Amino acid sequence: MELPEVEIVCRQMRKVMVGKEITSAWSHNSKRFLPAKKSVGGVISEIDRHGKYILVKTNVKMLTKINEPYELICHLGMSGSLSLRKVTPADLNISPLALAKKYIRARWFFSDEIMELRDVRRFGWVFWVKAGDYSQIPTLRDAGPDALKPDFTPKALYEGITKSRQNIKTQLLGQKCVAGLGNIYVDEALWESGISPLRTQISQAKANLLHNAIVESLKTGLRHGGTTLRDYRTFTGTKGTHQDHLRCYGRGGEPCLKCQKPLTQIKLGGRGTTYCKNCQK
DNA sequence: GTGATAACCTGCTCGC
DNA sequence: TGCGAGCAGGTTATCA
């Protein structure tokens, strides 16, 4: 899941989750999901996001202090989704084995509702931390500016890129230059801006183009409700349609929409990468 | 410290 | 039809 998909989930959660209290919780027996159990007692005050991380801000009533702020942090990995529905009697007696068969990795109960994290590939993460303390989440702690927030500027992008000698695609995926991009939107933004994913450095002028392409690619993905290649579902269970509007990602061998020459498919940093050798220099 | 690669996990698609 | 290989919206650990 990349920024547009996570942003859509956050927007939908914001409408219905604020004010709810977590009365009990269950998790898959994996260190990736176990922190879900610690969140019992949290009253949700706000839903925020940084990059691909969903930040569920809560207040927890303590014996000695009132309203200690904690955050329930969810990362959906490559195949995760969150959903909310009414609790049924069957929900209270279901076995861990039955949950595993449905790929449910964590569950949070509210007064009469249940939120479930479904994650087929188990690449997602759940954290429970004191508000703002991201020391145990290096990718979030070290993340650059969120791609759709005001502090992500062409200058910040250029300065981030000049700090490393890695190829630009790997840098953009690393979340340090800018937070929220994944394989799809990196390929799309590099194609839009005419920059080869193999490059290690770019000029400020190219950084300006790339900045604009990143923001526009993400906003277009948002308008289409996100990209559903296989597993992605919104918080309300619908699919995105952006997969029908991709201009570069996943089109290896097909003609480039700018020059008509076939798009090249390579492996870069272990990830499938599509680009145009003719247009992207 | 930096960069490249493997590993984690499961399901789907494709070729034989 | 059945089987194995390869691949997939990501991140982290390990090694050179």
Q: What's the CA A95/C1' B7 distance, rounded, in angstroms?
A: 30
What is the helix, strand, coil percentage profile of chain A, to 5?
Answer: 30, 25, 45
Nucleotides of B under 7 A from a protein CB: 2-12
With beta carbons less than 8 A apart as the criterion, state whether A39 and A70 touch: yes
Alpha-carbon dihedral A39, A47, A189, A182, rounded to 10 degrees: 10
Q: What is the largest CA-CA distance in chain A?
A: 68
Tell me the residue type at A81.
S
Q: What's the CA A190/C1' B15 distance, rounded, in angstroms?
A: 32
**Nearest nt to the A200 alpha carbon by C1':** B3
With beta carbons less than 8 A apart as the criterion, state whether A78 and A121 touch: yes
Query: Over its length of 281 residues, how does chain A's per-residue pLDDT go in tens digits?
Result: 999 999 999 999 999 999 999 999 999 999 999 999 999 999 999 999 999 999 999 999 877 767 899 999 999 999 999 999 999 999 999 999 999 999 999 999 999 999 999 999 999 999 999 999 999 999 999 999 999 999 999 999 999 999 999 999 999 999 999 999 999 999 999 999 999 999 999 999 999 999 999 999 999 999 999 999 999 999 999 999 999 999 999 999 999 999 999 999 999 988 999 999 999 99
With beta carbons less than 8 A apart as the criterion, state whether A153 and A178 touch: no
3-state secondary structure (DSSP) of residue A158:
helix
Q: What is the pTM of this model?
A: 0.97
Element (H, E) at A126: strand A125-130
**Nearest nt to the A170 alpha carbon by C1':** B3
Q: What's the CA A158/C1' C16 distance, rounded, in angstroms?
A: 29
Q: Which protein residue's Cα is closest to nucleotide B4 at C1'? A: A269
Nucleotides of C under 7 A from a protein CB: 7-12
Residues with CB under 7 A from strand C: A 1-2, 5, 51-52, 75, 77-79, 121, 123, 125, 137-139, 173, 175, 182-184, 227-232, 249-250, 270-272
Q: What's the CA A79/C1' B12 distance, rounded, in angstroms?
A: 13
